[in-house]
Amino acid sequence: MEAVPFIGIDRHRLGVDGVGVTTLAAFHGCPLRCRYCLNRRCLEAPDGLPRYTPQQLYDHVGIDNLYFIATGGGVCFGGGEPLLRIDFIEAFRALCGKSWNLTAETSLQVPAESVRRACTVVGDFIVDIKESDPDIYRAYTGGDASRAWDNLRLLLSLVGPEHVTVRVPLIPSFNSEADTDRTAQRLADMGVTRIDRFTYRTTKECQWHSDSEAENNNL
């Protein structure tokens, strides 16, 4: 397998990206174009980014093997959208075996088959669902909300709610407390028990599109 670009690898994260001590491995590439993007580098040209094969990444993060085993932690794949790299994640799981927990932070904006495959190798999922209103979702991300929600139903049916945390953000200028209440209730009705509600702290530096660009792209 060829080496793929990563926007960053961050060690010794605790209580942020899953169980125990984790290393966040953030892939380059994302299908969405969120108005506020904290990882803008994942949408820019990958020139100059570090590249790893599954074996090279395993060798790189293996320095924390004892931390992972002692705390039940492991590697959290983020990005960008990690499920765009399901081939890589499957190969990585074959290398690390079952002793490390693998987590994926995902928007679920991928083909359903990628979700099915991920469920066989990833232990826990952190889903950035963003919004239940399709118009707000499209305005903020440029994407189709129905795909994310359909994939969330599939994910819950395959791994169960105990392995799924869903993030529901309050996004300034895009949704309201009432919107997030509605999204949280829809998730609860689906059987989601782990709902993480928070407010985006936005700055001009993390705004991906200008207002004029957003209008031109109907975002």
CA end-to-end span of the chain, whole Å? 36
What are the DSSP calls for 3-50, one per residue? -EEEEEEEEEEESSSSSSEEEEEEES--S---SB-TTGGGGS--TT--
pTM listed for this prediction: 0.90
Question: What's the pLDDT band for 38 if we cut at 50, 70, 90?
Answer: confident
Q: Give 110-148 pLDDT, tens digit per residue.
A: 999 999 999 999 999 999 999 999 999 999 999 999 999
Over residues 36-53, the mean pLDDT reads 89
Over residues 28-55, the mean pLDDT reads 91
Backbone angles phi, psi at 31, to 5 degrees: -80, -10
> Tell me, what's the pLDDT at 83?
98
CATH of the domain at 87: 3.20.20.70
Total number of domains in the chain: 1
Residue range(s) defining the domain that contains residue 34: 4-217
> Tell me, what's the pLDDT at 35?
87
Give the alpha-carbon dihedral of 155, 159, 163, 169, to 10 degrees.
10
Q: Which region among 2-6, 11-15, 178-182, 203-207 has the lowest average model confidence (pLDDT)?
A: 203-207
- The CA distance from 78 to 29, in Å, is 10
Q: Kindly tell me the sign of the dihedral angle through the C-alpha atoms of 35, 37, 40, 45.
A: negative
Q: Give 91-112 pLDDT, tens digit per residue.
A: 999 999 999 999 999 999 999 9
Q: Give 172-203 pLDDT, tens digit per residue.
A: 889 999 999 999 999 999 999 999 999 987 66
Helix (H, G, I), strand (E, B) or coil at 78: strand
